[in-house]
Structure formats: C-alpha cells, structure tokens
Amino acid sequence: EPEVTQTPSHQVTQMGQEVILRCVPISNHLYFYWYRQILGQKVEFLVSFYNNEISEKSEIFDDQFSVERPDGSNFTLKIRSTKLEDSAMYFCASRRSFTEAFFGQGTRLTVV
C-alpha cells in the first residue's frame, strides 16, 4: 500500500539553527500539507501546497517557515532559525483531489 514517508523520525537541534524536515508524498498525489502537534495539544494546520505553490497557510506559518518541492518527489519544510516553542511533532500529508489525506508517521523535532 502506498504511504507517505517522513525523515528523520526524530531531530534534535540547537535553538537558532535551521532545520529541514523531509517528506515523500504518495507519487500521484497533488495536494500536500504540513501540520504540527505540540505535545499534549491538538494538531494544527501549517500550510497547504498545490501546483508548486502555497495555497493556504496559517498564522503559525510565518517568515521563519518555508516549503519546497525541489525535485517533484520530496516535499520539505524548513524552519530558518528554530525556537524552543518549535518543538513539536511535524506531520506531512498528501491527497489526490477527491480522496482521503494520507499522513506520514511524523518527525519529532526537539529544540534545545
């Protein structure tokens, strides 16, 4: 069964460092998403991406965040200068136009 793959599963980084979280969506999917879940809180939408551009983003997704689909298969989330409050589980998801969204297993980001 096709699946969304995220790497790494766990990343520890120093405050102020840049991190790139990687996702490989399902190959024929067209819509891509990033979410985060701070420990003990609900899942929050960050950004959606379609046709090689951002289609929606939340208030959380400020100038410190960016997304890219550099090579037609990977979908990355970059955090330019990490803060302690960026520590969370980050989920990637993808879907075709009228299907369920498929989620990756998540990357646990710990900023120290």
Partner 1 sequence: KNEVEQSPQNLTAQEGEFITINCSYSVGISALHWLQQHPGGGIVSLFMLSSGKKKHGRLIATINIQEKHSSLHITASHPRDSAVYICAVRADNQFYFGTGTSLTVIP
**Total residues binding partner 1 (CB under 8 A):** 23
Nearest Cα residue to 76 out of 5, 15, 2, 1: 5
| 20, 38, 50, 68: residue in contact with partner 1 (rule CB under 8 A) | 50
Give the pairing type, strands 102-103 and 107-111.
Answer: unpaired
Query: By C-beta, is 24 or 101 nearer to partner 1?
Result: 101
Q: Are 90 and 109 in contact (CB under 8 A)?
A: yes
Residue 16 CB, shortest distance to partner 1, in Å, is: 26
Could you say which of 35, 75, 79, 109 contacts partner 1 (CB under 8 A)? Answer: 35
Q: Is 43 in the site for partner 1 (CB under 8 A)?
A: yes
- Give the one residue of 42, 52, 63, 85 binding partner 1; rule: CB under 8 A: 42
| DSSP symbols for 39-57 | TTS--EEEEEEETTEEEEE
| Closest among 22, 20, 30 to 80, alpha carbons compared | 20
Phi, psi at 9, each rounded to 5°: -80, -30
* Cβ proximity to partner 1, 82 vs 90, nearer residue: 90
Q: Using CB under 8 A, list all residues that contact partner 1.
A: 31, 33, 35, 37, 42-45, 48, 50, 55-56, 58, 89, 91, 99-103, 105-106, 108
